[in-house]
Structure 1
């Protein structure tokens, strides 16, 4: 009993508290505090508001509904921005590049361009050559702000492209003023020199005598005959002249201009007469 009494030691209340604290610090386990009940939260009188839009109920923090709605709306906007990425044919566009939405839009754009050079670019979203060539076309558009570039999506306007005899992609057509179509060809990134030469040749300043021609009449008739397109075109009638409208030749016209005969011709005519 003496040995047991010698081994056991009586501690004061302060020593017991310090011993329990030291054991908690050394222990790797963290005691979890039980969640308060609904009644304790409701009856708690120590609730106070803080500056960042939260309400403190005892040791618990509850966010306000307005803050939850704002955070959820921000999350939705971020997800929409991430999901809506730009397509390759929408990147690098210049102010002088325009998308064609219909056959009427194409015809009106060519006519309203006046004496300006217009390049019609036929492309397809699934065309690898069109995708590789697009950045260079945007560079040409940036270096030539006076040239109008029209982009026609083949997948969206397939029926119109058939009527315009476009069967190879990428495909380009050059138009200008009263001359109408200047050239048409297909090129890729490897044969870009063909596009450069055509742009250098037809971008020089020139005056057109008359209004812009735009599409050929055969192309306009083909678009009007296409039932998939809501395009109307009436063939221009040819001028018909009445017999009374034909001016009769007068003695002052070149047909009755007097001829000066030479001396030898006078002798021959005198012998015949």
Structure 2
């Protein structure tokens, strides 16, 4: 079953109630054609993985605060979470990618968390720590590369690019 999120409080409650199940959040808009196209596939996957996943839909026009929190800029955007932490995000109406991602995180989410914990040398949720997003881990792994990256401007000044890709003077 797919649940339409009504507010930030509603989303927070659903995430809390999900426990260790995979959470898939579909950011959509009523006027979005690709959102309408992928919606039946999402419904099908929600039923298929009803025992191991919670599927939530967030209307970006009705829930701007949630949309901003997850930095959603295009629809549909799918956010995959486990134990309250984001493990993956992708945008677009790609039903094959959606199905493969759900299968991957439903079956491998424990292995994924173990791998994430090993990469960061931080304790996982079961060890008293908190899970991190895959994107933050990937950016952490490439931190040295990002910190050393530089961009030469027209006047010859060098500006270092921080790990989030923002230019600093």
Same fold (TM over 0.5): yes
Cα distance in 2 between the residues matched to 1:140 and 1:153? 19
Matching residue within 2, 6, 14 for 1:109: 14
Q: 1:196 to 1:99 in 2, by over 3 A?
A: same
Query: How many equivalent residue pairs?
Result: 118
- In 2, distance between residues paired with 1:173 and 1:212? 22
Query: Could you state the TM-score of these two structures normalised by the residue count of structure 1?
Result: 0.39
Name the structure 1 match of 2:100: 197
Runs (5+) with no aligned partner, structure 2: 112-124, 134-169
Given that 1:173 and 1:183 are in contact with CA atoms closer than 8 Å, whether structure 2 keeps it comes out as yes
Deviations 1:172-216 (A, max 9, x none): 0011126x111001121xx32221221111101649616896998
Residue 203 of structure 1 aligns to a residue whose secondary structure is helix
Structure 1 residue 186 and structure 2 residue 103: aligned?
no
1:119 alignment counterpart: 24
For normalisation by structure 2, the TM-score amounts to 0.61
CA RMSD across the alignment: 2.6
Residues 176, 182 of structure 1: 8 Å contact kept: yes
Q: Is 1:163 matched up with 2:69? A: yes
Structure having the larger proportion of residues in strand:
2
Residue of structure 1 in register with 2:43 after alignment: 138
How big is each residue's C-alpha offset from its partner over 1:52-95, in whole Å with a ceiling of 9 and x where there is no partner?
A: xxxxxxxxxxxxxxxxxxxxxxxxxxxxxxxxxxxxxxxxxx3x
Distance in 1 (CA, whole Å) between partners of 2:78 and 2:129 is: 19
Shift, 1:163, TM fit: 3.2
1:226-268 deviation line (CA, Å, top 9, x unaligned): xxxxxxxxxxxxxxxxxxxxxxxxxxxxxxxxxxxxxxxxxxx
* Higher relative contact order, chain-length normalized (CA < 8 Å, sep 6+): 2
Matches within 5 A, 1:228-267: none
Residue 114 of structure 1: CA displacement?
1.1
Query: 2 CA distance for matches of 1:100 and 1:202?
Result: 22
Instruction: Work out which of the two has the higher radius of gyration on C-alpha atoms and give 1 or 2.
Output: 1
Q: Deviations over 1:105-125 (max 9, x none)?
A: 212221221111110111100
Contact 2:87/2:132 (<8 A) preserved: no
CA distance in 2, matches of 1:157, 1:163: 10
Residue aligning to 2:78? 172
Conservation of the 8 A alpha-carbon contact between 1:107 and 1:214: no
